Amino acid sequence: MKFKNPEIQNLLDKKLSPHEMAAALDEILHLERQKNNEIKKEYDRLSVIINLIPNTISWVNSDMTYFGVNKALADTCNTTPEDFVGKTIGFHTKERFFYEFVTELFRSKSDTIYRELEARISNVDRTYLVSGTKLEDKEKAVVIGVDITELTKLKDHVSFTEKLANLGEMFAGIIHDINNPLMMIEGNAKRIKKRITDEESLELLSKIEMSSQKISKIVKGVKVYIRQDGDEPHTMENLGSIIDDALVICENKLKESMVAITLDPKINKIIIPCHFTQIFQVFVNLISNSVDAISGLQEKAIEITASETESRYVIKFQDSGNGIPKEFQDLIFNAFFTTKDRGVGSGLGLSLCRKILEAHGGSLAIDNNAKNTTFIIEFKKQ
């Protein structure tokens, strides 16, 4: 009979006495226990390090099952590492991308492969840069995933921003070309009105004049929206005028969704130092977001009211929505977070609104005491 342990086999080959044999075996077992303890300590130390790594790590078998995962992957799937053991690869998502990736890895002639994979995990769309490496026996492998979801969104946003910048330049030229004939139409309509007395003709000319003025106002709103004034100094602006211009830009959206809007006249008395364009964009974002949020409700209304304290102007922006769920309230001001369907919202609106207002010494917050969805905007008095 042969023993796999060479040290025990050597003892048998030496033909020691039973007493010597027992002493030698005790020494071997003692050394084995020490070695096992050292291995366990090293394993525990590595486990702590592996579980501190934010990237997902899984150990997989060629029969397409897990034999271990780290804490980051388990936390992402709202479960425990033990729950993965023995289960089919990719059980935590409806897509088969991870399963197909591991299948490709074990079939590949290369020991390591890389892929960018998308999956919906715990009701969140994620993008991972995944690497898989076969272990020495080629029957097992380690798969490491780096969550690049935010980076991908940022890359898409940068690309979209570049397109918008180019479109803005084109728009600026178009707006300039539109303004000149509009001024001519309006001026000629006024001159003709002075020369005729026919009531019907005067009424038609008045409609032409009013239409050209409305187009001019829309053109002005678009021009403000695409303008960049970050390097310009603050100027004293009437908040009512800013909101009026924002409503012009959102007019079609408000009409299509049949949203009624009420504006507190006290807003027209508030004069603040600001970048006109930036505060204009804040209100365009808030109006647009509200319309999207309440478009499916029976009652569709937005109300903007004003009040003041000794040191601040307080604007309440309220729509007929049922409020923002508490689980989203700490997230909605984060860049890229959105509750809209994929491809509809970028998740940048409220994040940028808060940053703009804070840069103006103001603030943007949710009013949890209100029955309906309400944002509180504050500006410092000078």
CATH number at 174 reads: 1.10.287
Q: How far is CA 47 from CA 70, 76, 84, 195, in A?
A: 8, 18, 16, 91
Write out pLDDT tens, residues 54-80: 888 899 999 999 988 888 899 988 999
Residue 252 sits in the same domain as residue 376: yes
Give the end of a domain, one of 90, 117, 147.
147
Q: Which two tokens stand for residue 309?
A: 């304290």
Kindly tell me if the per-residue pLDDT of 231 is higher than 60.
no
The pTM is what?
Answer: 0.46
Q: Which helix (H) or strand (E) holds 125?
A: strand 124-134
Count of the separate structural domains present in the chain: 4
Residue 137 sits in the same domain as residue 175: no
Kindly tell me if the per-residue pLDDT of 45 is higher than 60.
yes
Residue 73 sits in the same domain as residue 131: yes
Write out pLDDT tens, residues 122-142: 888 888 889 999 988 888 999
Write out pLDDT tens, residues 309-360: 989 999 999 999 888 877 777 777 765 445 554 434 433 468 788 888 988 8
Q: Which two tokens stand for residue 330?
A: 């700490």
DSSP 85: B
Q: Which two tokens stand for residue 182?
A: 């509009």
Residue 287 sits in the same domain as residue 361: yes
Residue 76 sits in the same domain as residue 17: no
Q: Which residue has the higher pLDDT, 61 or 186?
A: 61
